[in-house]
Structure 1
């Protein structure tokens, strides 16, 4: 461990500290802490969610309270202010807590009020990333990835791989409120083991895009519908190095985006239909989890979830078992999409490529197309309400 700032030994400035024990207690300490909190919440009348172990919910007649735990940070929300206050008092009687009131800054995410809802922003975090990279005065760009620049393996390694990994990891946390960065950041993280100068240039381009969109965040508005619908897309053999495809999906609850991902597929797809079908299986697994959580909380509308795919072959494959004879090489676990459709839990519909919102998660796009999809994903600049 390096010498703490302000306590350096002037005679031995290069010496390090020899730790006698762990700085943060025993390895099992986090589990012991969560068990204590878990037991107390159950005794206070909360029910532990089976879908998400960090979520607890409390019901009393028409009053509902939800409590979400992240280590020792807790956020509580409910439709009865009196009930929330009484539960906070019970919590403070056992644990030393500090009530910060209405959430404004939680885990680096700032909650801003806009005219039609709230905006989740990480502006301070973005400014910190730019400061660490020495790019606070860089020239902004309209997109995080160029459509003309492909990533190919080179032998000229970047001379500071630790800095590359640190910044790429920081950008990963930024995708919590910035789904428009998911594809570019996912591509950067594929070269953590041996980043080159070319990869460093790609990372700097992402930072220049961040510089131009500091005011942007994820907007959440009140929705009159609790229907779940999702968009799935894949870029067949998009990686020039291993010819694997990139899948992406966006899951909406009503009008709000609640889950998204951009990732490279594990195996090489032999056709565009196979690549799209694998992407459809990924989003089906995520939607299954979302629906399970909504049912547990009593918020599910009961309507089947709708999956939108822009490949007719994959759409037919999910609904017609005859086509399975042509896909014997596809792993069995991908075929559970058909079972979900047959049971009536999912509806798989075709959507044109023009209206495919998940297109932003699979490939670089021109500036106009990128901005259009970004707006449809509810990534908006902060405009204070009047």
Structure 2
């Protein structure tokens, strides 16, 4: 793949991966190093390239049942990396000491089990320090529920990060969580959870309201066009993909003169 033709996004727009219906179509040939390739891509997505996190998360669900379509998507990520080989997650010095989290969910994205996808980005000052792209553990019955569960997931990581930072700098750093679903926003502002459409939601996700009451976090609405976590929940067009990863500080690394 050294001389491959680069592409602008890790996954094609509207692409969907499914389990092969015909088990005989699954690739068993040892010449296809699917697992080894995916392991290397996962290493990149965890360390310095959050822009491929969603694609890697999608492919990792087919370790034991992949066919040629999955292999082609995996090679597309290599083509994307070939075109952005000088890009990486960059950190810049900042005097701003605040936490910002961006969370999004794509409702029913998984066609194999109709589970939704959670994506979130946590930034300290202007620097991205944590990100996640994963399938939710339960089936959400509405987009509101999917977004609500995503907010609960990111708040668990925020609690850990706030506790860690409080031990290091001995101050309580404020945090704002941005989401792009107004119904989930209103649900968080309610004191009661008896609505027939939401009372089935597992109680462990309601702890976010306690965090809001204790001023540990505040949740605010942000339009979808500015929601950078969207790149961690679905394939996007080139313009949105480039804009969002730029806001995540994935960019061409500056040259350092010695």
What TM bracket, shorter-length normalisation? Answer: over 0.9
Distance 1:379 1:299, change over 3 A: farther
* Distance in 2 separating the partners of 1:331 and 1:148: 31
Alignment of 1:199-238 (within 5 A): 199-238=70-109
Q: Is the 8 A contact 1:235 1:246 kept in 2?
A: yes
Q: Find the counterpart in structure 1 of residue 209 from structure 2.
A: 338
Q: Find the counterpart in structure 1 of residue 186 from structure 2.
A: 316
Distance 1:370 1:222, change over 3 A: same
**Displacement of 1:150:** 1.6
**Displacement of 1:159:** 3.3
Secondary structure at the aligned position of 1:221 is classed as coil
2:222 paired with 1:367: no
Q: Is the 8 A contact 2:166 2:173 kept in 1?
A: no
RMSD: 1.4
Count of residue pairs the alignment pairs up: 251
Q: Deviations over 1:149-198 (max 9, x none)?
A: 22122221123367101111111110110010100010010111211111
2:27 paired with 1:158: yes
The structure that has the greater radius of gyration is 1
**Displacement of 1:305:** 1.0
The runs of 5 or more residues in structure 2 that have no matched partner are none
The runs of 5 or more residues in structure 1 that have no matched partner are 1-134
* Distance in 2 separating the partners of 1:240 and 1:374: 26
Alignment of 1:181-200 (within 5 A): 181-200=52-71
Secondary structure at the aligned position of 1:375 is classed as helix
Structure 2 length normalisation: TM-score?
0.93
* Distance in 1 separating the partners of 2:44 and 2:29: 22
**Displacement of 1:303:** 4.4
Alignment of 1:1-386 (within 5 A): 135-154=1-20, 155=22, 156-160=25-29, 163-175=33-45, 176-298=47-169, 300=171, 302-326=172-196, 327-385=198-256
Q: Decide which moves more: 194-203 or 158-167.
A: 158-167
The answer to which structure, 1 or 2, has the higher relative contact order (CA under 8 A, 6+ apart) is: 2
4+ runs deviating over 4 angstroms: none
